[in-house]
Amino acid sequence: MRGIARAEEIGFSPIKINTVAIKGFNDDEVLDFAQLAVNKPFQVRFIELMPVGQVNSGYSEDYMPTTQLIQKISGRYELEKIKDKKNKSDGPAKIFKIKGGRGEIGFINPVSDHFCSTCNRLRLTSDGKLRVCLLKEDEIDLKKALRENCSDTELKKLIREAILLKPKQHDLVCTEMHLKKCYRNMSEIGG
């Protein structure tokens, strides 16, 4: 909280706070996070738990879909969907205002909604690979290319090749959440 307060104090904007709501772990804090968007001009974003890396064990018991989060927050606050104002940095988040609040609430639901076709995210892994989707194992090795002194044109071609690997939708089926879709942990992926 001190870091967030300091970022606000020095004028950093927008301040986005991402949280993954997990049943039985932090789902009792959802309304506290929403309260931040009432009091401060922050964008608080709730991200569905994804079956990535070691998260897969007990996944279906821990998973909390966006619909439950919206229901919980709507029990206390009136949410108004923001339709016209879409910021590029919002990515696939669906953005809401809390009536009378200063900030925004965002919901990123990679499991319950196939938003892949609108996802504008790429990740550079800790070992130098460009990954276009958290739920796919496809990666392009940029580190190797750079170590072999590739040209800017060759690097641009590799990045374009990676972008073309982005799926139109993931193949994760909500009824099969026990499936392991991504074997690397988020700290390795850059998530």
Q: Name the residue ranges covered by the structural domains of the chain.
A: 2-108, 118-189
User: Is residue 66 within 8 Å of residue 92, measured between CB atoms?
Assistant: no
- Residue 149's contacts (CB-CB under 8 Å, 6 or more residues apart) are none
In degrees and rounded to multiples of 5, residue 44 shows phi and psi of -95, 120
> pLDDT per residue over 70-87, tens digit each?
999 999 999 999 876 667
Q: pTM value? A: 0.75
Of residues 178 and 155, more confidence is placed in 155
In degrees and rounded to multiples of 5, residue 86 shows phi and psi of -125, 120
* Burial class of residue 104, CB neighbours in 10 A (0-12, 13-18, 19+): buried
pLDDT at 172: 62
